[in-house]
Amino acid sequence: MKLTLISFFLSTLLYFSGPMVGTRQFVSENLANLDTTLITIPFNVKFGLVSEAYINEKKPKIDSFYHKFINSPYYSGSFLVAKNGRIIYEDYRGFSNAKTGKKIDANTAIHLASVSKVLTATAILKLVQDDNIMLDQKVTDWIPKFPYKNTTIRTLLNHRSGLPHYSNFPGIMKKAWNRKKVLTNKDILDLMIKQKFKPVFADNTRFDYCNTNYVILALVIERATGQNFRDAMQTLIFKPLGMKNTFVFNYETDRDTVCKSYRGSNIFPWDQYDNLHGDKNIYSTPRDLVKFDLATYSSDFIKPELLQEAYYGYSAAKVAKPIKDYGLGMRMRFLPPNGEKMVYHNGWWHGNNTSFIPVKKDTVTVICLGNKYSNRPYATLSMVSSLFYQKKTEIETPVPTELEMKE
């Protein structure tokens, strides 16, 4: 008993004294069980303490921004800002199910929409790291019947494949399209094989953001792991990082239990694209996404050189002063006056609007997940550029109130 108390005292003294640059994050994991504002991961990763001066400087500014530009009577969702895993600001509003009165809280998993692509891309990079697949490998190596012979894993990741958009398939097929069928990833692949849709452009000649790319990447992950996408994501990312509230949506079993998606007071109905994975359909919480971001600082989770591939811009290399670009599952903006690069990813699906912004230079994570149709979560980009970069930016205009109220 004495030894336990002494160990606890020494651990506490170490944690709260002086700078901790170079101290392993997992040393403080037991303390994190007592400190609900500290998020940790079971990987070797080094951070310093977050000073009270830093928190006192940032927190009032974050609070002012949040209440002025995001929080409103029509906003519903979760918002979190953390540095080095230390939660600086956190708030939860609205309902995951308005009918039952179930409120959104820290454990409420919300549909990430296209922020799911960040996690899908990371799963691919983990497989590259394990020498399971190669970035410049042809998709046909994994899916022999895939009809676009020049497409590579890399051009799927960076949206330079020229693949047709699956949302355009109904218009192309017209009367032959079955609007009642709920599609799977395999259905999308089978349609591409059978119909041989014309590509939008030749592989790797330009950028075109296309959800089809990530539907195919999910199939590659399945072929490479021998697991379905749902289990593969648990194996590669969610379980190792302790992301206990994160999962890939199961259309057959999860529809009645997941956080609802709203426009006004109406629930968005399910449609035929709600059983597709890779491009969307991952549910998570801000705290779990902080765990994911923390892991990107650990070479035990992912090698720095692979992470740099994700943050390298593939579409604006020849532009003298680019404004936007896309890496491997990550968007980026170049901010004036010095062209600083801010990486991020937004998402939209039905009533879900999401924003994930890892401020890599400052080891800060900013997350806003909404489940009620509004572009307010996207204003977090303006907050980040103003508080953590040199750019003094205009706030992106929120959705007009009359549209938020529209039934």
CA distances from 345 to 21, 60, 215, 324, 360 (A): 29, 25, 17, 12, 14
We report the CATH number of the domain holding residue 106 as 3.40.710.10
Q: Is residue 395 part of a domain?
A: no
Look at residues 376, 383, 378, 379 and name the one whose alpha carbon lies nearest to residue 404: 376
Q: Is residue 108 part of a domain?
A: yes
- The DSSP symbol for 100 reads T
Residue 36 pLDDT greater than 90, yes or no: no
Residue 328 pLDDT greater than 90, yes or no: yes
Q: What pLDDT digit, counting tens, does each position of 338-368 carry? A: 889 999 999 999 999 999 999 999 999 999 9
Model pLDDT, residue 5: 42
Helix and strand counts by DSSP (H, E) for the chain = 13, 14
Residue 17 pLDDT greater than 60, yes or no: no
Look at residues 161, 204, 200 and name the one whose alpha carbon lies nearest to residue 317: 204
Number of domains in the chain: 1
Q: Are 37 and 87 in contact (CB under 8 A)?
A: yes
pTM: 0.89
Q: Is residue 401 part of a domain?
A: no
Q: What pLDDT digit, counting tens, does each position of 288-314 carry? A: 999 999 999 999 999 999 999 999 999
The CA distance from 28 to 23, in Å, is 9
Q: Is residue 13 part of a domain?
A: no
Q: Is residue 83 part of a domain?
A: yes
Which range of residues forms the domain containing residue 237?
Answer: 52-389
Q: Which of 24-28, 236-240, 270-274 has the lowest mean pLDDT?
A: 24-28
**Cα diameter, the chain:** 77
Residue 110 pLDDT greater than 80, yes or no: yes
- Long-range contact set of residues 266-273: C-beta below 8 Å, sequence gap at least 24: 266/407, 268/350, 268/351, 270/182, 272/179, 272/180, 272/181, 272/182, 272/183, 273/166, 273/167, 273/183
Residue 341 bridge partners (DSSP)? 334
Q: Is residue 282 part of a domain?
A: yes
Q: Is residue 104 part of a domain?
A: yes
Q: Is residue 9 part of a domain?
A: no
Terminal-residue alpha carbon distance, the chain? 61
- The DSSP symbol for 323 reads S
Q: Is 125 helix (H, G, I), strand (E, B) or coil?
A: helix
Q: Is 47 helix (H, G, I), strand (E, B) or coil?
A: coil
Task: Output the 3-class SS for 41-82.
Answer: CCCCCECCCCCHHHHHHHHHHHHHHHHHHHCCCCCCEEEEEE
Q: Are 247 and 238 in contact (CB under 8 A)?
A: yes
As a whole number of Å, the CA-based R_g of the chain is 22
154 falls in which pLDDT band (50, 70, 90)?
A: very high
What is the amino acid identity at position 24? R
Choice between 337 and 327, residue whose per-residue pLDDT is larger: 327
Residue 169 pLDDT greater than 90, yes or no: yes
